Amino acid sequence: MNTIIEKVQLSSSKNVTFTLKENAVNIFEEPQNSLWTFDLAGRLVGMFIDYKNYRRTLNNKYYLKSRFTIENEQFRDIKQIPIDKIKPLIEQSHILIRNNQNRLSNVFHDPLENILKMDSTTLQNSAKEFNNIYLPISILPPDQYMSLVIQFTEGCNYNKCTFCNFYRDRPFKIKSADELEIHLSKVKSFFGEGINLRKSIFLADANALAVPQNRLINGLKLIHNHFPQFKNYYSFIDVFTGLKKSANDFKQLSKLGIKRVYLGVESGNSDLMLFLNKHQLNKDIIELTHKLKNGGIDIGIIFLIGAGGSKYAEQHLLDSVKLLEQLPLGKEDIIYLSELYDTNSNYEKSMAEQNIPLPTRQEIRKWSNEFKSKLKKQYFKNIQVSVYDINQFFY
Ligand code: SF4
C-alpha cells in the first residue's frame, strides 16, 4: 500500500496532517508540531507533544524519553508517566480525528475508527490481554525492539550472572508444541492489524536456541505457518547450550530464517567473567562464533562496559579486543557496548566485597568511548559498533 497523506486546514495558521502507511497512522498538528503514531489496530505507539517524546508499551505503561548532557557527553533518560497525565494527551488526538475525519478519504475511515475505539478502558483491557499471553519481556537487542516476540522458551537456563536480574522471576522452560501453538494463536489475535508494525520475529526469552534441534526446527515451522509474512528470525544464544549445536545445525536454522543471534560475551577477561559469575571460556566463544558463521548466521556480540568498575577496566578492554581479533566477524555483524550503570543488589554486594566503587555514568561512558575508538581505529573499521542502553528498552 502506498503512503496516503491528507492535510486539513483548521484555520489560516493551523492545520493537521493525517498519514496512512502500510504499518501505522500518523497525526501531525501544526504549528504545535504535535505528532501521534498509532499501529493499525489503533493502539498508541508514541507521541511527541510540547517537544516531549512519549512512548507507550503494549502493557499500557507510558514513558517520557529525554536526553541530558554532562561534560559534553549526552545521556538518555526515561521516566514513567502516570496514565492520568497521559489521557488528555491521547484525547487531543481523538478530538482531531472526530473533528476532521469527515473531510478525509474513505481509506482513512477504518484505521481512524480503530484509534477512536482504543479509549483508556480498551487500552487497559488490551494490556491485560498482553499480560496473559506473555511473561514480562525483559530485554531485546536494540535492533529488535520492533520485532514480534514469540516466547518459545521462558527464562534463562543459566540464570546465575550476578549483574543480571532479567529472568530471576521464572524457571527455564521450553514450550511444548501444544503450548507453542496456543501462544502463537493468542499472539496473532492480540496484535491484529497492529502486526504490520513488527519487522521480524524474535524468539524469546534469554536463549531460545537452547531448544534441542528437532524441537527447534518443528517450532520454527509452526511459527512460520502462523506468520508466513516474516522471513527473518532473531534470538539470543549462550555459549553453554550453543556449543551443543554443529555448523550444520546452524545451517538448517539459517535456512529456516534465523538471521542473527546475539551473544552476551560481556568481556574477554577471564577474571572479570569469574567475578560476574558467568563461567564461559574465550575458546568456547571462538568456537561457537565460527560454527555460527559457517552455518550462515550473523552475530551480535555484547560487551558489558563498566563491569567490575575501575579494578577491571583496563584489562577488560585489552582482553576483549584480543578476543574480538579471533572472532570471524564481518560487516553484517554488530558489536554492542552495553553500559552497566543501573545495577542490582547482588552485583553491588560483590563490588563492595572487593572494595570496588560503583562507577559513575560518566566513567562508564569514558570506558565505552575508549572501547569504541579502539575497535574503530584498530580492528573493526567496517563493523557497526553501537551503545546498548538496556534502560531504553520498551515493548
Ligand atoms: S546475562 Fe544472560 S546468561 Fe546471564 S543470567 Fe542473564 S540472561 Fe542468563
Residue, of 27 and 380, whose pLDDT is higher: 27
Residue whose CA is closest, atom 6 of ligand 1? 164
Mean pLDDT of the chain: 96
Query: Which residues, at least 6 apart from 302, have a Cβ–Cβ distance to it below 8 Å?
Result: 141, 262, 263, 264, 265, 266, 336, 338, 388
Using a pLDDT cut of 70, give the percent of the chain over it: 99
Residue 177 — very low, low, confident or very high, per pLDDT cuts 50/70/90?
very high
Which of 137, 237, 238, 275 has most ligand 1 atoms within 8 Å of CB, for mutation? 238
Q: How far is the CA of 182 from the centre of ligand 1 (A)?
A: 27
- Ligand 1 contact, 165 CB (< 6 A): no
- pLDDT score at 375: 87
- pLDDT score at 12: 85
- pLDDT score at 25: 98
CB 296 within 8 Å of CB 254: yes
pLDDT digits (tens, 9 = 90+) for 243-271: 999 999 999 999 999 999 999 999 999 99
- pLDDT score at 378: 65
CB 209 within 8 Å of CB 237: yes
Quote the DSSP letter at residue 359: P
Cell of 374: 579502539
Which of 139, 153, 164, 173 has most ligand 1 atoms within 8 Å of CB, for mutation? 164
Helix segments in the chain, DSSP class H: 83-100, 109-117, 120-133, 177-191, 213-226, 239-242, 247-255, 270-275, 282-294, 309-325, 345-353, 361-374
Closest atom of ligand 1 to 166 CA is: 6
Residue 11 — very low, low, confident or very high, per pLDDT cuts 50/70/90?
confident
Q: How far is the CA of 57 from the centre of ligand 1 (A)?
A: 23
User: Per the omega criterion (within 30 degrees of 0), is the bond before 205 cis?
Assistant: yes
- Ligand 1 contact, 166 CB (< 6 A): yes
Q: By three-state DSSP, how is residue 66 classified?
A: strand
Q: How does DSSP assign 26-61, residue by residue? A: EEEEETTTEEEEEETTS-EEEEEETTEEEEE-TTS-
Residue 71 — very low, low, confident or very high, per pLDDT cuts 50/70/90?
confident
- Ligand 1 contact, 156 CB (< 6 A): yes
Closest atom of ligand 1 to 207 CA is: 7
Q: Quick one: average pLDDT of 337-344?
A: 94
- pLDDT score at 380: 67
- pLDDT score at 17: 98
Q: Quick one: average pLDDT of 174-193?
A: 98
d(CA 273, CA 228): 40
pTM, two decimal places? 0.95
Query: How many contiguous H segments (helices) and E segments (strands) does the chain have?
Result: 12, 17
* Other C-beta atoms lying within 10 Å of the C-beta of residue 124: 12
CB 199 within 8 Å of CB 147: yes
Give the Å distances, CA to CA, from 65 to 6, 56, 83, 107, 261: 29, 11, 15, 33, 28
- Ligand 1 contact, 237 CB (< 6 A): no
Is residue 379 predicted with pLDDT exceeding 70?
A: no
Q: How far is the CA of 213 from the centre of ligand 1 (A)?
A: 21
Closest atom of ligand 1 to 240 CA is: 3
pLDDT digits (tens, 9 = 90+) for 41-60: 999 999 999 999 999 999 99
- Ligand 1 contact, 161 CB (< 6 A): yes
d(CA 393, CA 64): 12
Q: Quick one: average pLDDT of 161-190?
A: 97
